[in-house]
Amino acid sequence: MTKAQRAPRKWGPWLFAATVGIFWLLLALSGRGYFKKLEQADQRYAVKAAQLEGVTRLRIEGDGGDAQGYWPATRVLLGGAPEVELSIRMRPADRDGKAASGQPGGQPPLSAVREGDTLVLRWATPRREDAGPPGRPQAWMNEIVLPAQFQELALSHAAVEARTAVDQLQVSGRSVTVEGPVAHLDLRSARCAPCAAQQATAGDEACPPGPDRARRSRQASLEVTARGMQTVRISAGAGEVILRDSEGLQRLELRLAPAVALSVDRAGALGLGAAGGGHGFNVAGPGEGACGLAAMGGRETVPSKPLDLVPVP
Amino acid sequence: MSTGNAPFSWHRFLLLARAHGAEQYRQYLAHMLVTGVLYCVLLLFALGVSRLSAFDTGTQSGFYFWGLYLTGFVFAGRYFDAMARRESALLALMRPASVLEKWLLCLLVVAVAYPLAYTVLFLAISWPVQQVVLAAQAMMERTSSFNPADYALFVPLLRAPKPALLLGPLQQWGFFIGLWALQALAVAGSLYFRRAALLKTLALGFGLAVLTALLCAASGARHEVIFAWWARRAPPADPAVHIFNALLWVGLPALLWWQTYVHLREKELP
C-alpha cells in the first residue's frame, strides 16, 4: 500500500486526548500555591496565658439559639495549650454585596471579658436570623483551644474534645458532644423543657415562637463518648441524649425529662447507679443543676474586666 | 456527502432541518413521552413515601437537573443513531448538506431545542402536581410549619422566592454549561464508537470521572478556583481566576463540540 492510498489520519481521538489533558492540567493548576489566597481563611485570635490566671470557666454569649436554622458546631479542644486560641470563620461576601467581613477597622467580631473566674466571649453584634440569609450565620467560631485549667463550659453548639487527662468537667449547651479522657463529666442541656409544652414568648431565644418549635426542640442533643471516663452525669429536659463506648464507665447518672429520647450503646450502662447499687436513671426531670446556661448566667454580678484578643497570623 | 462549494447555505440548512424533522419527530416524541412517564413515576414514588412533602422548590430543581442530565445525555447519544446502523448509515452520510450544516443542526437540536422541550415538559407536569401538593398540604398540615412559599414552582433561570436556599440563576448557567459539555461527549462517542456507542461512552466517562477525582485529590484542586464564576460569593478580581474559568467553562466545552465536528468530518464520505 502506497502512502497516497493509506487511510487519512483520524484527528478526533487526539483532539479528545488533548481536551482531557487540558482539563486535568487546569484542575491541577487550581491546586497551585498561587490560588491559596482564595481559600476561606479563619480569623485567629488568642487570649494570653497571663490574663487567664485563676480562670476556670468559659461562657460564650450571643451564639445562635434554636430560633435560628443551621448553626455550625464549635470544636472545643481542651488541654495542650497554654493560652486560649480562637478560630473564627466568616461567611464570604455574597454576589449581591452582603459582605460578611468583621467589624469595621478589622476589629474581631467578638469581645473577651473576665468576670471573676469566668472568661466571657461575647459576639459584638446580635446574632439574629435577619443578619443574613435564613439559616446561614454571618460568622461563627470554628474552633477554640483551651488550657486544661478550664472546668466549666457554657456554650451553644459544640463538639468538646479533651486532649489531655481532665479530672472534672462541666459542660452546658444546647447541642453538645463530649469525648476524651475526662474522669468526671457533668453534662447539662441548656434546654429546660420541651418548647412545645412551654408558653413561649416572642423573642425567647431558648423557645422560639412559631409552629415548628416542637420540631426544633428535638434537635437539642447531648452526646457522650465515654471511653476513658469514670463517672458521667447528664441532665436534660428536652431533645435527645446519646451515650457511646460506656464499657469502662463506673457510674452513670441520668436526670431526664420523660420526653427526652435516650440512646445507649449497651443496656448494662443503665445499671451503673449511684454507689454501685440500684440505678441512676431519673425520669422525673432534669432536677437541680440542669439548664446550665441559665444557671451560669444567673450567678451574682461580678465586675467585668476586658481582655485583649491578640490576632494570630 | 458535501455538496456545492460553500460550507454553509441557509437554503440547504433549512432543507436539512426539514428532512431531519420529518424523519425523526416520531422518535423525539417517543423520547419525550418516555421522559414524561419516568418523571411521573418518580413523582408518584417520591411524593408517596414523603407524604406529599418532597416537592419543595429545591427538590424540584433537583428533579429538573438530574432529569435533564440523564435524558439529555441519552438524547445526544442517539442523535446520530442512523449512522451507527448499517442499513441507514449510507443514507445519512449521503444527505445533501455540508459537514458544517449537519454539525450546526446537531448543536441546535441537542444543546438548544432539547433543553427547551424538556423544560416545557417538566413545567407541564410539575405545575399541576404543585397545585395538588399545595392543596393537600394545606388540608393536612394546618397546625404545623407548612409554608406555601417553600413549594413555589421551580422555573429554570428565574430567581426563586427563597433564593438563599436554592441554586441561583448563575449557578444554573454553570449546570447548563456542564450539560452541554456532557452532550458533546455523548455525540462524539456516538460518532467514534461503531457498536454500543452510548454504553462505551458512558464507561469512558465513568473511567475519566474516577481518574479526575483521583487527580483532584492528589493535586489539591480548589473548588474556590474551579467554581469561582458560579459561587454565591463574588468572584475575586484576580484576572488569573477569570482566565482559568474562561478556559474551563468556555474553552473546554467549545473544544468538545469542535471534536464532534472533527469526528463528523472524518466520518463523511470523501
What tens digit of pLDDT does each residue of A67-96 get?
A: 445 567 889 999 888 899 998 887 665 555
Answer whether A27 sits within 8 Å of B226, measured CB to CB. yes
Backbone phi, then psi, for B171, in 5-degree steps?
-65, -35
The answer for residues whose C-beta is within 8 angstroms of residue B34's C-beta and 6 or more apart is none
pTM above 0.80, yes or no: no
Per DSSP, the three-state class of B87 is: helix
Answer whether A11 sits within 8 Å of B266, measured CB to CB. yes
Answer whether A28 sits within 8 Å of B162, measured CB to CB. no
Q: In chain B, where are the structural domains located?
A: 10-267
> B252 at the A interface (CB within 8 A)?
yes
User: Smallest Cβ distance to B216: which of A27, A36, A97?
Assistant: A27
> Residue B257: its chain A contacts at CB < 8 A?
none
Mutation target to probe the B interface, by most B beta carbons within 10 A, among A5, A6, A15, A96 is A15
Specify the DSSP class assigned to residue B233. B
> B206 at the A interface (CB within 8 A)?
no
The pLDDT value given to residue A206: 46
CATH topology of domain A40-312: Pectate Lyase C-like (2.160.20)
Answer whether A28 sits within 8 Å of B221, measured CB to CB. yes
Answer whether B247 sits within 8 Å of A16, measured CB to CB. no
Task: Order across the sheet with A310-312: list the strands.
Answer: A261-264, A240-244, A221-225, A175-179, A157-162, A74-78, A139-146, A84-90, A43-47, A310-312
Mean pLDDT score of chain A: 76
CA nearest A243: which of A265, A227, A260? A265
Q: Please give the residue of chain A at the shortest CA–CA distance from B264.
A: A12
Q: Is the pLDDT of residue A204 over 50?
A: no
Q: Please give the residue of chain B at the shortest CA–CA distance from A132.
A: B164
Sign of CA dihedral A199, A202, A208, A214: positive
pLDDT in tens, chain B (270 residues): 445 567 888 999 999 999 999 989 999 999 999 999 999 999 999 999 988 888 888 899 999 999 999 999 999 999 988 777 777 777 777 788 889 999 999 999 999 999 999 999 999 999 999 999 988 888 876 555 677 888 889 999 887 666 555 678 888 999 999 999 999 999 999 999 888 889 999 999 999 999 999 999 999 898 888 998 988 777 777 889 999 999 999 999 999 999 999 999 888 765
> Residue B221: its chain A contacts at CB < 8 A?
27-28, 30-31
Q: Please give the residue of chain A at the shortest CA–CA distance from B144.
A: A211
Report the distance separating Cα A31 and Cα A17, nearest Å.
22
> Residue A22: its chain B contacts at CB < 8 A?
247, 251-252, 255
> Residue B244: its chain A contacts at CB < 8 A?
26, 29-30
Residues belonging to chain A with any Cβ–Cβ distance to chain B shorter than 8 Å: 8, 10-13, 15-16, 18-20, 22-24, 26-31, 34-36, 38-40, 92-95, 97, 133-136, 210-212, 215
Q: Could you tell me where the DSSP H helices lie in chain A?
A: 12-30, 213-217, 292-297
Answer whether A135 sits within 8 Å of B165, measured CB to CB. yes
